[in-house]
Amino acid sequence: MNLYWNINRSSVIMPKLPTYVLGAIGEHQTLSRLLLLGYSAAITNFSVENTENTDILCRDGKGRFCAIQVKTTSEDNWKTGISHKEFYNDNGQIDLTKGRKFLENKVLGPWVFVQIGGTSIAPTFTFFILSRSEVIDMIYSNEEWYLTGFNRKKPLKGSGPICLYAPWLNGNGIPANSNHIEWVNPFSSPSYKFEDAWHNLWID
């Protein structure tokens, strides 16, 4: 008797995994998908120190290269590795120009957002692929709204991580309420579809 198949898969809960384990799973799943798509690809984080802002190097059949950053979550949001403080100047004032420049220097290529679901025995993987310019525009647009679109009684401190949420990658915005104005997703048009949009690797 095969004990594996006697396990009720729906009853096996996905454990809460350390960040570095989630990252490794996301990178390897992305690598596998790239290879299945016919690309040549390799994970770059096998050295003593991780490569900065790049997790996978990929080449297509036309000889084009791209440096991919992979973000992985088992929840509904991804930490970008960027802090709100990057949008503040040395005087503690909001500086959107500084923040935009920081993004343009940090984001080197396309990002792949991996969302893990299912169970530990039967996991599921959803991939959202944004080009370099789409990553920059998404983070900048939402951060501009977050910093300037709220009715705050106290000034916002420039600390804490910037996150992106799964509904945003599906084109959803955030409606206005008594606390803030509406955030209009710059990629709300039906023409934008990030899930399994592997062609976005080669846009810019």
Whether 6 shows a pLDDT value over 60: the answer reads no
Contact 71, 80 (CB under 8 A): yes
Strand 65-73's sheet: what is its strand order? 40-43, 56-59, 65-73, 111-118, 123-130
Burial 147-181 (b: 16+ CB within 10 A, else e): bebeeeeeeeebeeebbbebebbebebbeeeeebe
7 pLDDT tier (thresholds 50, 70, 90)? very low
| pLDDT given at position 152 | 86
Distance, in Å, from the CA atom of 53 to the CA atom of 67, rounded to the nearest integer, reads: 9
Measured between alpha carbons, how far is 149 from 145 in angstroms, rounded to an integer? Answer: 5
pLDDT in tens, 23-46: 999 999 999 999 999 999 999 986
Q: Taking the domains of the chain in order of start, what are their residue ranges?
A: 9-202
Give me the pLDDT at residue 17, please.
85
pLDDT score for 4: 36
Assign residue 92 a region: left if phi > 0, alpha if psi is -120 to 50, beta otherwise? left
Closest CA to 114 of 102, 105, 104, 123: 123
So what's the pLDDT on residue 49? 61
Residue with tokens 């104005």: 181
**pTM for the predicted model, two decimal places:** 0.90
Residue 2 has pLDDT above 70, yes or no: no
Map tokens 């490569």 to a residue: 51
**DSSP annotation string for the chain:** --TGGGS-GGGSPPPPPPHHHHHHHHHHHHHHHHHHTT-EEEESTTSSSPPTT-SEEEE-TTS-EEEEEEEEESSSEEEEEEEGGGGB-TTS-B-HHHHHHHHHHH--S-EEEEEEEE-SSSEEEEEEEE-HHHHHHHHHHHHHHHHHSB--SSPPPS-SEEEEEHHHHTT--B---SSB--B--TT-STT---BT-GGGGG--
pLDDT one-digit tens code per residue, 57-112: 999 999 999 999 999 999 999 999 999 999 999 998 999 999 999 999 999 999 99
State yes or no: pLDDT of 10 exceeds 50: no
Residues 130-166: tens digit of each pLDDT: 999 999 999 999 999 999 999 988 877 777 899 999 9
